[in-house]
Amino acid sequence: MDEILVTRSSMPQFQEYVDEIKELWDSHWLTNMGVKHKELQKKLEEYLGVENIDLLTNGHMAIELSLQALNLTGEVITTPYTFASTTHAIVRNGLTPVFCDIDPNDYTIDAAKIEQLITDKTSAIVPVHVYGNVCNVEMIQNIADRHHLKVVYDAAHAFGVRYRGKGIGSYGDVSCFSFHATKVFNTIEGGAVSFRDPEFGRIMYGLKNFGIRDQELVDSVGANAKMNEFCAAMGLCNLRHIREGIAKRCVLVERYSERLSGIAGLKLMPRQADVVPNYAYFPIVVDETVFGVGRDEISERLARHNIFARKYFYPLTSSFVCYENQFDPDDTPVARYVSERVLTLPLYEDLTIEDVDRICDILLDI
Ligand code: T4K
């Protein structure tokens, strides 16, 4: 049997990509905000239902440069239940992450626990729409408004998600998307920020291009985080098929849910109200004392059948070796509980219903 990995990049037909990049061979214009970059930017603003988008090299730089653009200081309240990028982006800006626990149902930051973590040093909240689940955006905005804090969403998993009729990127001050090869929508490597304030856009544009305004004016100490034309071309192709791709994921998620719901000791993610989801991930949380077998053993048994699930997200970022002795994972007991029991099952457009059935059969056999 061929191996099944946790995900597999969505790709257009080879010829479609070749046709898309033909122009680049003719023009020799390969990067620095070329025609593909401009076209993708516009199309994404429409698709994501947001006012402004800027394209970047990856989702990580979207977060790191957003925090820099907002000129934050001191402490930032965030979640440890995420990919390395979120916490690293905070620390790499010279800021101190203050970890808030997560909601036991959707695994996003527990908004009811944010306020008690605010001090006179707090400058922002960085929540994560983890697995594409929508954070409690109303309560977070309310807290931010009352305490004059910025809100920067890590929306790496939330491409195309809509909440109460609006694109997810229209909440908060900034939302940061990832278009990495492993995401629902990819530009090979890539990312974007969505925002409302044109001044933020102006600063971000400088930060992603060395602070260059024109050939003789450099007005900020910028990095280089521009999306190149080949990545933008991949995005244009993948965007043509995105609805179909998400629809295929939906069918697979429904099958997983049908087969695995109601099994004692296996917790699935509940469907969120008022949300149009993107079916990005399918995590299960395994309670060994009830299911009889733990997450690690399930993972090993699947691996024996050439099926490679992943522990997204274990360990908590607050437990990383690079942050040794700086944080206490016991401060976020729900995050710790979930992280020690979660297993993310394979999910991608080209996965078949038969694959899902095979994975479920192995799980149910256990
Ligand atoms: N915030 C959050 C919450 C994130 O999850 C991420 C990224 C970011 C921020 C930062 O965004 P980026 O800067 O990456 O745009 C993968 C991805 O590399 C990473 O983008 C993603 N989150 C994370 C959740 O997953 P790894 O270390 O697990 O990747 P890797 O190489 O083990 O790949 C996982 C599986 O994906 C492979 O088993 C097969 C498949 N795959 C992988 C690659 C590289 C493909 O099908 N095609 C490919 O090209 O981090």
The predicted structure's pLDDT at residue 64: 98
| Residue 121 phi, psi dihedral angles, 5° rounding | -100, -10
281, 312 in Cβ contact below 8 A?
A: yes
Residue 310 CA: nearest ligand 1 atom is 28
From the list 251, 56, 243, 70, the residue with the least C-alpha distance to 155 is 56
In the chain, domain spans: 14-240, 242-365
Beta bridge partners, 49, equal none
What's the gap in Å between 159 CA and the centre of ligand 1?
A: 14
Which parts of 247-360 are beta strand (E)? 266-267, 275-276, 282-286, 307-308, 342-345
What's the gap in Å between 85 CA and the centre of ligand 1?
A: 11
Which residue type is seen at 284? I
**Ligand 1 lined by 186 (C-beta under 6 Å):** no
What's the gap in Å between 82 CA and the centre of ligand 1?
A: 12
What whole-number distance in Å separates Cα of residue 169 and Cα of residue 60?
A: 16
**Ligand 1 lined by 152 (C-beta under 6 Å):** no
Residue 313 CA: nearest ligand 1 atom is 24
SS3 237: helix
What's the gap in Å between 357 CA and the centre of ligand 1?
A: 25
**Ligand 1 lined by 178 (C-beta under 6 Å):** yes
- Beta-carbon contacts of residue 28 (< 8 Å; ≥ 6 apart): none
The predicted structure's pLDDT at residue 49: 96
Provide the residue count of the chain. 366
What's the gap in Å between 83 CA and the centre of ligand 1?
A: 9
Task: Find the largest Cα–Cα distance for the chain.
Answer: 68
105, 272 in Cβ contact below 8 A?
A: no
Nearest CA to ligand 1 atom 38: 5
**Ligand 1 lined by 182 (C-beta under 6 Å):** yes
Per-residue model confidence as pLDDT tens for the chain (366 residues): 789 999 999 999 999 999 999 999 999 999 999 999 999 999 999 999 999 999 999 999 999 999 999 999 999 999 999 999 999 999 999 999 999 999 999 999 999 999 999 999 999 999 999 999 999 999 999 999 999 999 999 999 999 999 999 999 999 999 999 999 999 999 999 999 999 999 999 999 999 999 999 999 999 999 999 999 999 999 999 999 999 999 999 999 999 999 999 999 999 999 999 999 999 999 999 999 999 999 999 999 999 999 999 999 999 999 999 999 999 999 999 999 999 999 999 999 999 999 999 999 999 998
From the list 285, 251, 291, 253, the residue with the least C-alpha distance to 268 is 285
**Ligand 1 lined by 57 (C-beta under 6 Å):** no
From the list 125, 178, 122, 191, the residue with the least C-alpha distance to 152 is 125
What's the gap in Å between 151 CA and the centre of ligand 1?
A: 24
Does the reported pTM lie above 0.95?
yes
For a mutational test of ligand 1's pocket, the pick from 82, 180, 307, 350, i.e. the residue with the most ligand atoms closer than 8 A to its C-beta, is 180
What whole-number distance in Å separates Cα of residue 95 and Cα of residue 159?
A: 27
Does CATH place domain 14-240 in 3.40.50.10540? no
242-365: CATH topology: Aspartate Aminotransferase, domain 1 (3.90.1150)
- Beta-carbon contacts of residue 23 (< 8 Å; ≥ 6 apart): 35, 36
